[in-house]
């Protein structure tokens, strides 16, 4: 990896792989021109190479990996998305792994290995020294999504009574320092962390200064079994750069750094967005059949709720036959309800995710959503009631539309907040399931209110 004196050399204004560069690499791969290929790929960061592999088509990808051969940079693997990782690993020889895998940090290896099948796992692990292998196996025995899987095993700890000079001297004599570390962790003789000192403070202090006087103001340790989402939350909330991880006996076993927390945080928000739309773990590299299969369940559920709504409509077939304008106007009520419900549920889902919605403000927020629904309901009742009267010249129809709109909007607001909260209480991810329930409520209430009121008044 070459040193880049300016960050944007290989990037367009948006700091990404330039399309022309991708084009040139594809050409070099197609021509089997290895020296040209190596010249183009060499200055690229492994994250950009991973993006490249994700963006080209499967045939180009296979040819590229073949051409790259033994020089394949294993650090690209930890940047690749999961589904592609398996594919790429299948095309790399076990020898390539054996040579290079030991260059990676333990957390990166765990990240690569955890989603592979047993056979692929052993291929990678066989490239490691016995002791490293034991460390990885230990990590893999921890619960998925636990802090232990996110942590680095290498860290810098010193006795709590040390001073600056002792620390610097000790660091200079060590040859197993982590690639990146930001704090020196103070520990008791039993390896319990008692505080940490930022490297900047150590460097800025005289040699005889005690580390205990330089402690970081705010110190938090992370239990090894803590959920990764909580870890991301803590890092973001308290602006942390790195934090020690402890096992059940409060023994220091590793360190989590902010870059891992940052990836987690982004992943979580990304997941929420996709789940809200009923998409799941989808990626651009998935094939048509995979995508279709992944989107199917949600569409199937939606079909169920749509049929439910149709059943409601079917009850009022006579009314519709008597006044076909009802069929023309009823989707408006349902659509408005669906949208208002989506607004309300999205705010609720995000507030739960960012932990802004708590028992302290729960009832206030529920009341607020009800009021917003009422207010918007009245506003749109006036608008749509007016339109109904003007369009069909039928005062009664306008009043029916207006009343149905108010009822539906209130139902939308309340179900939009109550359903995510209810799901969270029974430990179902509100992001994944709220939409179905809320739109079912708004559809059913919308059609029922509109057609029901119409039946009572018109027939």
Provide DSSP, 155-200.
--EEETT-BHHHHHHHHHH-S---SS--EEEEE-TT--EEEEEEHH
Decide: 119 and 92 in contact? Cβ < 8 Å: no
Q: Identify residues 433-452 at the interface with its own copies (CB under 8 A).
A: 443, 447
Does position 354 bind its own copies by CB under 8 A? yes
Q: Which is nearer to its own copies, 128 or 334 (CB)?
A: 334
Which one among 55, 102, 145, 166 touches its own copies, defined by CB under 8 A? 55
Which one among 39, 292, 386, 395 touches its own copies, defined by CB under 8 A? 292
For residue 119 the two structure tokens come to: 């056979």
CB of 401 to its own copies, least distance (A): 11
Output the CA torsion sign for 37, 40, 43, 47: negative
* Chain-centre distance for alpha carbon 35: 38
CB of 70 to its own copies, least distance (A): 22
Q: Identify residues 301-320 at the interface with its own copies (CB under 8 A).
A: 302-303, 305-307, 309-310, 313-314, 317, 320
Strand ranges (E), 169-293: 183-187, 193-198, 222-223, 242-246, 252-257
Decide: 404 and 333 in contact? Cβ < 8 Å: yes
Q: Which is nearer to its own copies, 65 or 243 (CB)?
A: 243
Does position 356 bind its own copies by CB under 8 A? yes
Does position 133 bind its own copies by CB under 8 A? no
For residue 246 the two structure tokens come to: 């402890």
Q: Which is nearer to its own copies, 121 or 244 (CB)?
A: 244
CB of 287 to its own copies, least distance (A): 8
CB of 105 to its own copies, least distance (A): 11
Angle at which helix 258-276 crosses helix 228-238, to 10 degrees, equals 110
CB of 94 to its own copies, least distance (A): 27
Query: Stretches 63-71, 111-119, 144-152, 331-339: which one binds its own copies (CB under 8 A)?
Result: 331-339
Which one among 84, 109, 365, 432 touches its own copies, defined by CB under 8 A? 365
Query: First CA to last CA across the chain, in angstroms?
Result: 79
Provide DSSP, 381-398.
HHHHHHHHHHHH--HHHH
Does position 137 bind its own copies by CB under 8 A? no
Q: Are strands 193-198 and 157-159 parallel, antiparallel or unpaired?
A: unpaired
Which one among 49, 101, 128, 372 touches its own copies, defined by CB under 8 A? 372
Q: Which is nearer to its own copies, 125 or 405 (CB)?
A: 405
Q: Which is nearer to its own copies, 102 or 236 (CB)?
A: 236
> d(Cα 220, Cα 18) in Å, to the nearest integer?
42
Does position 335 bind its own copies by CB under 8 A? yes
Question: Between the CA of residue 2 and those of 39, 102, 179, 206, 305, what are the distances in Å?
Answer: 11, 21, 17, 36, 56
Which one among 27, 30, 296, 390 touches its own copies, defined by CB under 8 A? 296
Output the CA torsion sign for 248, 252, 253, 256: positive
Does position 379 bind its own copies by CB under 8 A? yes
Does position 194 bind its own copies by CB under 8 A? yes
Q: Give residues with Cβ within 8 angstroms of 375, minimum separation 6.
A: none
Q: Identify residues 154-173 at the interface with its own copies (CB under 8 A).
A: 156, 167-168, 171-172
Q: What is the Cβ-side half-sphere exposure of residue 436, based on CA atoms within 13 angstroms?
A: 20
Which one among 27, 93, 143, 238 touches its own copies, defined by CB under 8 A? 238
Q: Are strands 222-223 and 193-198 parallel, antiparallel or unpaired?
A: unpaired
Does position 361 bind its own copies by CB under 8 A? yes
For residue 225 the two structure tokens come to: 């079994």
Place of tokens 């790195």: 242
Which one among 347, 402, 419, 423 touches its own copies, defined by CB under 8 A? 347
Place of tokens 């739109």: 439
Does position 390 bind its own copies by CB under 8 A? no
The dihedral over CA atoms of 294, 295, 297, 302, expressed in degrees to the nearest 10, equals 170
Which one among 120, 346, 403, 408 touches its own copies, defined by CB under 8 A? 346
Does position 459 bind its own copies by CB under 8 A? no
CB of 393 to its own copies, least distance (A): 14
Q: Identify residues 259-278 at the interface with its own copies (CB under 8 A).
A: 259, 261-263, 265-266, 269-270, 272-274, 276-278
Does position 239 bind its own copies by CB under 8 A? yes
Query: From the CB of residue 82, how many other CB atoms can be counted at a distance below 10 Å?
Result: 14
Does position 366 bind its own copies by CB under 8 A? no
> d(Cα 133, Cα 104) in Å, to the nearest integer?
12
Does position 190 bind its own copies by CB under 8 A? no
Query: Stretches 1-9, 31-39, 87-95, 99-107: which one binds its own copies (CB under 8 A)?
Result: 1-9
């Amino acid at each position: 990896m070459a040193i880049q004196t300016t960050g944007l050399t290989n990037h367009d204004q948006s700091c990404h792989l330039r399309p022309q560069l991708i084009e040139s690499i594809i050409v070099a791969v197609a021509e089997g021109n290895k020296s040209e290929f190596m010249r183009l790929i060499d200055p690229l960061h492994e994250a950009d190479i991973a993006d490249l592999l994700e963006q080209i088509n499967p045939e180009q990808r296979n040819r590229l990996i073949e051409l790259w051969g033994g020089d394949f940079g294993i650090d690209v693997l930890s940047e690749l998305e999961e589904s592609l990782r398996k594919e790429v690993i299948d095309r790399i020889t076990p020898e390539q792994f054996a040579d290079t895998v030991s260059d990676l940090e333990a957390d990166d290896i765990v990240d690569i290995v955890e989603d592979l099948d047993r056979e692929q796992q052993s291929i990678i692990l066989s490239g490691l020294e016995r002791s490293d292998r034991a460390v990885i196996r230990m990590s893999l025995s921890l619960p998925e999504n636990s802090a232990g899987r996110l942590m680095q095993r290498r860290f810098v700890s010193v006795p709590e009574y040390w001073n600056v000079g002792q620390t610097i001297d000790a660091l200079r004599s060590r040859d197993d320092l982590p690639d990146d570390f930001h704090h020196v962790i103070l520990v008791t003789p039993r390896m319990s962390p008692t505080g940490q000192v930022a490297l900047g403070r150590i460097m800025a202090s005289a040699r005889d200064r005690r580390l205990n006087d330089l402690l970081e103001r705010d110190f938090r340790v992370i239990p090894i079994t803590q959920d990764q989402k909580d870890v991301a939350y803590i890092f973001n909330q308290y602006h942390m750069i790195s934090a020690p991880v402890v096992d059940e006996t409060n023994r220091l076993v590793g360190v989590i750094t902010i870059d891992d927390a940052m990836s987690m945080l982004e992943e979580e928000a990304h997941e929420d967005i996709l789940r809200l739309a009923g998409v799941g773990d989808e990626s651009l590299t998935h094939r048509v059949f995979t995508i279709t299969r992944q989107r199917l369940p949600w569409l199937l559920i939606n079909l169920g709720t749509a049929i439910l709504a149709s059943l409601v409509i079917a009850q009022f077939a006579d009314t519709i036959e008597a006044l076909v304008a009802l069929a023309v106007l009823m989707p408006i009520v349902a659509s408005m309800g669906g949208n208002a419900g989506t607004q309300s549920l999205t705010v609720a889902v995000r507030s739960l995710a960012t932990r802004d919605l708590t028992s302290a403000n729960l009832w206030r927020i529920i009341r607020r959503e009800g009021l917003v629904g009422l207010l918007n309901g009245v506003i749109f009742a006036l608008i749509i009631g007016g339109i109904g009267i003007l369009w069909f010249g039928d005062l009664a129809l306008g009043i029916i539309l207006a009343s149905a709109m108010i009822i539906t909007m209130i139902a939308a607001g309340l179900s939009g907040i109550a359903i995510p909260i209810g799901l969270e209480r029974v430990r179902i991810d509100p992001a994944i399931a709220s939409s179905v329930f809320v739109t079912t409520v708004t559809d059913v209430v919308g059609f029922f209110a509109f057609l029901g009121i119409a039946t009572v008044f018109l027939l």
